């Protein structure tokens, strides 16, 4: 089992997001239109967003006319999502009272790894209508080589052991799909959507601040790291960085009964 698939055992790390809920909403990129288009192509009548956070994925679907309900553990994140127009129920997905509701589509953006896989799979099977789909996806932002090399020097000095750009997997390869082999699910698929970002020094620092492993750093160490990164962007790269961004998707469909 990969360290990513064990992330639910470090659930306390997820609590760090609430302390930076406003930054998360401001600086975390949303998801590419190609992903939203692929979800719309499933023609869901209603959507459940597990771990909806500040509503990045939910609002994208709401704007396209879908009915979306969010479930979010952290009240501070849920408050921001509600402000963005998302209907949110505050609870952990594992203990959430679904009141007998079912959905055509379950999504989870940058969040499913925090869910206990055994409980999560059982709940997804109960919550999806026959033929419904669960889509789990996450963003990765790879820096250009000169920037990455410069940043690695900064991390070695200020935060050795912390990964540049966060600790999520760089592809679906090597990330076992916990739904594979489950009798309740079929039609397993993986997708990758490619896009790009150009970020100012302030925007990159704002994004990095929302990563859970960076939030776990001791305050003075984190401040020194962020200051050094900001100075590196301004002094060596003209104040901006570009990323090769990818959104990785794992899909499974509830079997027809």
What integer pLDDT is reported at residue 84 of this predicted model? 95
What integer pLDDT is reported at residue 80 of this predicted model? 98
Helix (H) and strand (E) counts in the chain: 11, 7
Its pTM stands at 0.89
What integer pLDDT is reported at residue 168 of this predicted model? 56
Q: Among all chains, which residue has been given the structure tokens 């609870």?
A: 91
Contacts with 226 (C-beta within 8 Å, 6 or more apart), sequence order = 205, 208, 209
Residue 203 lies in a domain: yes
**Other beta carbons less than 10 A from residue 125's beta carbon:** 18
Nearest to 79 by CA among 24, 143, 119, 21: 21
CB 241 within 8 Å of CB 220: no
Residue 1 lies in a domain: no
What integer pLDDT is reported at residue 165 of this predicted model? 75
Collapsed DSSP state (helix, strand, coil) of residue 209: helix
Q: Which residues of the chain have pLDDT under 70?
A: 1-16, 166-174
> Tokens representing 249?
């998707």
Q: Note the pLDDT tens digit of each residue in 227-237.
A: 999 999 999 99
CB 134 within 8 Å of CB 251: yes
Q: Indicate the average pLDDT of the chain.
A: 92
Q: From edge to edge, which strands make up the β-sheet containing 103-109?
A: 87-90, 67-72, 46-50, 103-109, 128-143, 240-254, 185-200
Residue 2 lies in a domain: no
Into how many domains does the chain fold?
1
Residue 58 lies in a domain: yes
For residue 186, the enclosing domain spans 7-254
d(CA 97, CA 17): 23
CATH number at residue 207: 3.40.50.150
Q: Note the pLDDT tens digit of each residue in 45-95.
A: 999 999 999 999 999 999 999 999 999 999 999 999 999 999 999 999 999
What integer pLDDT is reported at residue 174 of this predicted model? 60
Collapsed DSSP state (helix, strand, coil) of residue 139: strand
- Dihedral through CA 47, CA 52, CA 39, CA 125, nearest 10? -60
d(CA 119, CA 49): 16
What integer pLDDT is reported at residue 112 of this predicted model? 96
Contacts with 77 (C-beta within 8 Å, 6 or more apart), sequence order = 17, 18, 21, 24, 52, 53, 54
d(CA 61, CA 40): 8
What integer pLDDT is reported at residue 183 of this predicted model? 96
């Amino acid at each position: 089992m990969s360290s990513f698939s064990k992330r639910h055992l470090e659930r306390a790390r997820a609590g760090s997001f609430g302390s930076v809920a406003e930054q998360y909403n401001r600086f975390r990129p949303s998801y590419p239109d190609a992903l939203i288009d692929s979800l719309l192509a499933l023609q869901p009548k209603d959507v459940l967003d597990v771990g909806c956070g500040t509503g990045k994925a939910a609002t994208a679907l709401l704007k396209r006319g879908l009915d979306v309900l969010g479930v979010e553990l952290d009240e501070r994140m849920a408050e921001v999502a509600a402000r963005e127009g998302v209907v949110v129920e505050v609870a952990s997905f594992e203990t959430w009272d679904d009141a007998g509701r079912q959905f055509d589509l379950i999504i989870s953006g940058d969040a499913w790894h925090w869910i206990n896989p055994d409980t999560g799979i059982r709940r997804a099977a109960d919550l999806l209508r026959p033929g419904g789909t669960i889509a789990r996806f996450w963003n990765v932002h790879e820096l250009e080589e000169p920037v990455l090399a410069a940043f690695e020097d900064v991390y070695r000095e200020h935060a050795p052991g912390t990964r540049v750009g966060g600790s999520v997997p760089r592809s679906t390869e090597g990330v076992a799909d916990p739904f594979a082999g489950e009798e309740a699910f079929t039609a397993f698929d993986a997708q990758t959507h490619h896009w790009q970002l150009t970020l100012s020094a302030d925007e990159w620092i704002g994004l990095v601040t929302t990563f859970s492993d960076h939030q776990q750093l001791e305050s003075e160490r984190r401040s020194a790291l962020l200051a050094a990164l900001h100075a590196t962007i301004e002094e060596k790269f003209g104040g901006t960085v570009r990323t090769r961004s990818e959104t990785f998707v794992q899909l499974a469909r509830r079997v027809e009964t």
